[in-house]
Amino acid sequence: MEDVLSACTVTMNIPVAWGEMDAMGHINNIIYFRYFETVRIEYFNRLDMMGYARESGIGPILASTECHYKLPLQYPDMVIAGTKILSMEEDRFVMGYEVFSIKHKRIAADGKGVIVTYDYHNNKKVPIPDVLKAKIMELEKM
């Protein structure tokens, strides 16, 4: 595993599926965003962020996302998706993502996502609740 991926707070193995390939014979570009989503939700699960959202109505919403493609993936392969918090502001945080190909032994894609804390009952963004901020800081060892 490359040093940059080992710096991620949460990582997980994800098999590349045959059905993820497109007509060009490589993994469709949208699948990389699915890998980002999968590891992002695993990160949220470590914080019980979705449980907090169900109880309070305040939870994460993806405001923007980007992906930089480094290597086309193909079936069969296994990727390691990783994420960590790059920065945190009053009402949002930025997550960095890495997708590492086991077969090629290198990063296949990296990206970022801006996650805003959102009050789903009142339909507006809100500051990150202190309890979630503390859990993020503990997980990230900030």
Q: CATH number for the domain including 106?
A: 3.10.129.10
Q: What is the pLDDT of residue 142?
A: 83
Q: What is the pLDDT of residue 76?
A: 98
- pTM here is 0.94
Q: What is the pLDDT of residue 3?
A: 61
Q: Which domain holds residue 99?
A: 3-140
Q: What is the pLDDT of residue 4?
A: 54
Assigned token pair, 52: 């907090």
Domain count, the chain: 1
Q: What is the pLDDT of residue 49?
A: 97
Low-confidence ranges of the chain (pLDDT < 50): none
Rg of the chain over all Cα atoms, to the nearest angstrom: 16
